[in-house]
Amino acid sequence: MSLSLRKLVQNPSLRLRLVVGGEDEATAEQTFDQEFEWLHATDMIDPTPFLGPAEVILTLGWQFPVIESADPSVPEVRVAPDRLERIYDDYASLVAAHGVIGIGFGSDVLHRNVPHQLAAACRKHGLILFDVPYEISFMDLLQEAARVLQRDQTERYTRSLRAQKAIANAATRRDGLNATLRETARQLGCGVALYDSLARPITLVEAPDGPRLGESELTPIVQAALEQEQRFRSTQATPEIEVVLQMLGEPNDPGGVLALTLSRGFDDVSRNVLSSVLALVSVSLQQNQALASLHTTLREALLQLVLSGSVAVTRHIVESVWGPIPQPPLVTLIGIPRHFDAPRLLPALESLQAGDGPPVFFAQYRSDVAFLVGERDVDDLLERLRPFSLVLGRSHCDRWEGLELALEEAKKAAEFGLRRGESRPTAFSEMWRDGVSDLIDASDAAHVARRVLGPLDAHDREQGAELVRTLEVWLGHHGRNLPAARDLGVHRNTLAHRLEQIAHLVGADLDDFQARAELALALRYHQR
């Protein structure tokens, strides 16, 4: 429904006159454009049980005392001025509290002119008051209101069709997806952004006018919606801008997110247009994702082809589809995604081969992503991989025949970096920088250490002893009693007694080298 007094008052045939509508020109303009649902003709003292929340009352004033009669057959009454003012004030207060927009008073039928007490009450309670002249019946006004609604509905329908046609035509262009989003922004008068399933912007179109929201402000909102798997989200980003997000695809397998930045509310036409846009964008994304899925499968097959020794065939296919393939000597990288699985990440990586960047080949390798790049270009690739939040391991490959070994080394390095929480790429050659024991999964080792040294910990707590420290100092001196006793500040016989207790509690022969090595390793991960 879209009725406003402007649409009625501007009709010269109705000759409506605004009596109360605002104390200043700006307020009067807002009053004219204030929308209401319908006009209700009633002379009841309390019409509110029969009214909607946003309506206009049409009345002849039978509910009010007639002070100045416009009809000789209607007797006038005498009412004290203060009581008369109270009658009008109570009525205006009642209907205003119900949500009535205003009152249309039929003058010169019962009352001569519009009672000034009614005008004062409407002004006090913020109601519109307009005069319906004697020559215009309420039926004339209601019929014109119906015609206004019909014209408005036709106009909305036409505007919706026109906007949808323009957007559909844009979708047929060479850059159909981007053209669709640009036309959507123009038709709806809002900002439009399309994000991929990793919350990375694909297309950003600013609002044609009014306040705008930057990428740095919009992207975190999209990331939150994807992390929470919200199909639809609306949030007030700034006092002037509302962000409406619509997930494309399924929450557990999103194809992307369409984001609209609005500085004014949506009407029915805009919602209809948006439904068409969502359908067009979804189809376009599905086509892109189908192609991306084929690329993912092809890449994985080509990597297996290289590993089987068919390098020439692979090179021909890769160069036909994506461009030059890097040549040995190569740096091999394995990336473990921190937040998404590899199939969801791979389509976004296609941007690595766009433009004039160095040759690079990537493919899914088991559950992770493998990258092949020339030695001179590895730093450039690492910089471009920074936004993808990968835990990276790297190795080196001088010949194609050594690629499988290099990939395995890079995978081990990536897993090692993941366990240690590394933020930078881990080279396979760095894995043993702290010794072979550094390759052990710290979380598993700590668990075993608690199991092995638990009896010593319990004994120390109960007896106030220092068996764990004794074992640590003794092993630090390679099992030599005299320097260990000196460090501990105890007699060597006391140390010997403690070592007997330790051997009994852990169930190990301390003269056995293997047992000593395992205890030393347990001490390393003790209480980690």
Query: For the domain bounded by 295-434, which CATH number is listed?
Result: 3.30.70
Which tops the pLDDT comparison, 156 or 338? 338
Q: What is the pLDDT of residue 26?
A: 55
Q: What is the pLDDT of residue 477?
A: 87
Q: Starting at the edge strand that comes first in sequence, how are the strands of the sheet with 390-397 ordered?
A: 360-365, 368-374, 330-337, 390-397, 426-427
The answer on pLDDT for 100 being more than 90 is no
DSSP class of 69 = B
Mapping DSSP to helix (H, G, I), strand (E, B) and coil, where does residue 478 land?
coil
Q: At the top level of CATH, which class does the domain 3-146 belong to?
A: alpha beta
Q: What share of the chain is helix, strand, coil (3-state, %, to 5)?
A: 50, 20, 30
What value does the mean pLDDT take over residues 393-398?
92
Q: Where in the chain is the domain with CATH 3.30.450.40?
A: 173-266
What value does the mean pLDDT take over residues 206-214?
83
Q: Quick one: 59 exposed, middle or buried, by C-beta within 10 A (0-12, 13-18, 19+)?
A: buried
Q: Where in the chain is the domain with CATH 3.30.70?
A: 295-434
Render pLDDT for 152-207 as a digit per residue (tens, 0 to 9).
777 767 666 666 676 667 666 667 777 778 877 787 788 888 888 888 888 888 88
Render pLDDT for 11-22 as a digit per residue (tens, 0 to 9).
788 888 888 875
pLDDT above 90: percentage of residues in the chain:
20
- The answer to whether the predicted template modeling score (pTM) of the entire model surpasses 0.75 is no
Q: What is the pLDDT of residue 352?
A: 76
What value does the mean pLDDT take over residues 454-469?
88
Q: Which of 368-372, 445-449, 460-464, 500-504 has the lowest mean pLDDT?
A: 445-449
Render pLDDT for 215-260 as a digit per residue (tens, 0 to 9).
888 989 988 888 888 888 888 888 888 888 888 777 777 778 888 8
Greatest mean pLDDT range, 327-336, 453-462, 476-485, 503-512: 327-336
What value does the mean pLDDT take over residues 123-134?
88
User: Are the beta carbons of 352 and 407 closer than 8 angstroms?
Assistant: no
Q: Where in the chain is the domain with CATH 1.10.10.2840?
A: 440-524
Tokens 């022969």, residue? Answer: 509
Half-sphere exposure in the Cβ direction for 238 (13 Å, CA): 13
What value does the mean pLDDT take over residues 74-85?
89
Nearest residue to 140 (alpha-carbon basis) of 47, 64, 58, 42: 58
One-letter amino acid identity for 101? I
Q: How confident is the model at residue 285 (pLDDT cuts 50, 70, 90)?
A: low
Nearest residue to 437 (alpha-carbon basis) of 521, 528, 526, 527: 521
Q: What is the pLDDT of residue 414?
A: 92
The answer on pLDDT for 528 being more than 50 is no
What value does the mean pLDDT take over residues 499-508?
89
Which tops the pLDDT comparison, 479 or 430? 479
Half-sphere exposure in the Cβ direction for 20 (13 Å, CA): 22
Half-sphere exposure in the Cβ direction for 428 (13 Å, CA): 16
What does the DSSP assignment read for 271-315?
Answer: HHHHHHHHHHHHHHHHHHHHHHHHHHHHHHHHHHHHHTT-HHHHH
Structure tokens that stand for 243 in this block:
């962000």
173-266 CATH choice from 2.60.120.10, 3.30.450.40, 3.10.400.10, 3.20.20.60:
3.30.450.40
One-letter amino acid identity for 133? P
Nearest residue to 124 (alpha-carbon basis) of 86, 156, 77: 86
Q: Which of 64-68, 83-87, 166-170 has the lowest mean pLDDT?
A: 166-170
Structure tokens that stand for 57 in this block:
């009352």
- Rounded to an integer, what distance in angstroms lies between the CA atom of residue 471 and that of residue 477? 10
Q: Which of 301-315, 336-350, 424-438, 504-518 has the lowest mean pLDDT?
A: 424-438
Q: Could you give the C-alpha distances from 239 to 232, 235, 410, in angstroms and in order?
A: 20, 11, 49
Q: Tell me the fold of 440-524.
A: Arc Repressor Mutant, subunit A (1.10.10)
Q: Could you give the C-alpha distances from 265 to 31, 38, 334, in angstroms and in order?
A: 19, 22, 48
Q: Where in the chain is the domain with CATH 3.40.1390.20?
A: 3-146
Q: What is the pLDDT of residue 438?
A: 52
Name, in order, each residue with C-beta under 8 angstroms of 463's C-beta and a sequence gap of 6 or more: none
What value does the mean pLDDT take over residues 309-337?
91
What value does the mean pLDDT take over residues 319-348?
86
What does the DSSP assignment read for 242-281?
Answer: EEEEEEEEETTEEEEEEEEEESS---HHHHHHHHHHHHHH
Q: What is the pLDDT of residue 346?
A: 82
